[in-house]
Chain A
């Protein structure tokens, strides 16, 4: 099922299937390694639920929810 990264729950794993951001935001997202096909895991949310912390390629980065909206993901079955 495809959904926006915003709607993933803590510790959900997913694969990126599309990124709709262009311009500076798009570039920043790509520079940090968020490209189609990348597997990600939600590892935390800030105390006010926003931003979200995402683990990918062996490191952690943070995204605001309105930035996460531009990223479409496909949820992977939890391996736990």
Chain B
């Protein structure tokens, strides 16, 4: 029973999300200020069609969620939320720290968090491999391919591509 209920819940979340997106686009489209000469085939028509489509689809999914038979009874709802949270937190930490700490420390943090989420227990080894990987990427992409991955205060300056020649 619980799996069917969680399936219905998932279905309801999907339908609600699609419906909400449709309503949002419809409202935003109505609020668009459009020059009068463009009223027939202006920038509003296509978004209106998409909003309409989203609303209809959202309602269809919701109807299936509450009244229909559940189409997807494969029950993939056994999920390790802790691992998802770890990967997600790694990504957030990287985007917050990237431009202050620099590419290598921020991305190593992401690497270690992801490795932990996939069951690795060897923190130190993960760190060494993360440092090597992000360091190699920094050298190849900044010095070799002319991209500008962010240089932080410590590590990157010691590597080719991280010095003053990158425009700092």
To the question of whether A and B form a pair in one complex, the answer is no
Which residues of B come within 8 Å of A, CB atoms?
A: none
Which residues of A come within 8 Å of B, CB atoms?
A: none
